[in-house]
Amino acid sequence: MAGEHPTPILRTEADLSRLPASDRIRYRLVGAGHRYHANDNIARFIEAGEMDELKAEVESKMHEVLRALVIDTESDHNTNDTAKRVAKMFLTEVFRGRYVKMPAVTEFPNAERLNELMIVGPVKVRSACSHHLCPILGRVWIGVLPNEHSNLIGLSKYARICEWIMSRPQIQEEAVTMLANELSERVKPDGLAIVMEADHFCMHWRGVKDDESMMTNSVMRGAFLKDANLRREFLSLLSKKDLR
């Protein structure tokens, strides 16, 4: 293909429309100098109708994977539609957070001047590891210390933003940092603390088959870094909420 059609430096829309959707989207990403790692959101580079094209593309590649695994997807009724199911699952469920825009969040000024520690959680986490695409299931707790200039968001929105960031192939340390960055930017609190505890299925299913697959990590920012009492208060409230 590459030999037949040398890539011109500036493609026209007509050239682009002949490319598979994934190449078209990649072309826009590269042009904009936008990173597209597994845990990056690329929603604003995807145009109407292209998600369906991506689904068809992933389905056909997944079909090739099954073929390479020497699975007879024609006679085996269990795997007839596996390629289609997996494509749909990746794009619209488990990696959805890469392809859709951030959920709409209404921020409202801190009119009551709340400045008490607020804890949200546990928020259920369903993610996947970037290394093996195996599930990561866990929980997240978020501690916020607002000040009078903070923008408050509804409690359920913390869970929605968390879900949006986690439903991508992730690395746990990067996932909590991404979540912290997003919340810092929206809420602008004096302090932000996030604790994530998750079970990494690639540890059970493959490799060492180690049952010690729970991983806990945290991000502490602002007041939570400076104030040991605040940090203790947050962590002690979590232990009451059954953090193992």
Q: Note the residues at the interface with Zn ion (CB under 5 A).
A: 129, 131-132, 202
Phi, psi of 221 (to 5 degrees): -130, 155
Cβ(177)–Cβ(219) below 8 Å: yes
Place of tokens 């078209």: 24
Nearer CB in complex with Zn ion: 89/133: 133
Report which DSSP code applies to 4: T
Chain centroid offset of residue 20 CA = 24
CB of 59 to Zn ion, least distance (A): 24
CB of 40 to Zn ion, least distance (A): 18
CB under 8 Å to 223, separation ≥6 — which residues?
Answer: 145, 190, 191, 230
CB of 133 to Zn ion, least distance (A): 8
Residue type, 78: N
Nearer CB in complex with Zn ion: 83/129: 129
Nearer CB in complex with Zn ion: 150/170: 170
3-state secondary structure 19-70: CCHHHHHHHHHHHHCCCCCCCCCCHHHCCCCHHHHHHHHHHHHHHHHHHHCC
Q: Is the dihedral of CA 175, 201, 124, 240 positive or negative?
A: negative
Nearer CB in complex with Zn ion: 27/201: 201
Closest CA to 122 of 185, 187, 195: 195
CB of 130 to Zn ion, least distance (A): 8
Nearer CB in complex with Zn ion: 18/131: 131
Rg (CA), the chain: 22
Chain position whose Cβ is nearest to Zn ion: 202
CB of 203 to Zn ion, least distance (A): 7
CB of 131 to Zn ion, least distance (A): 4
Nearer CB in complex with Zn ion: 41/170: 170
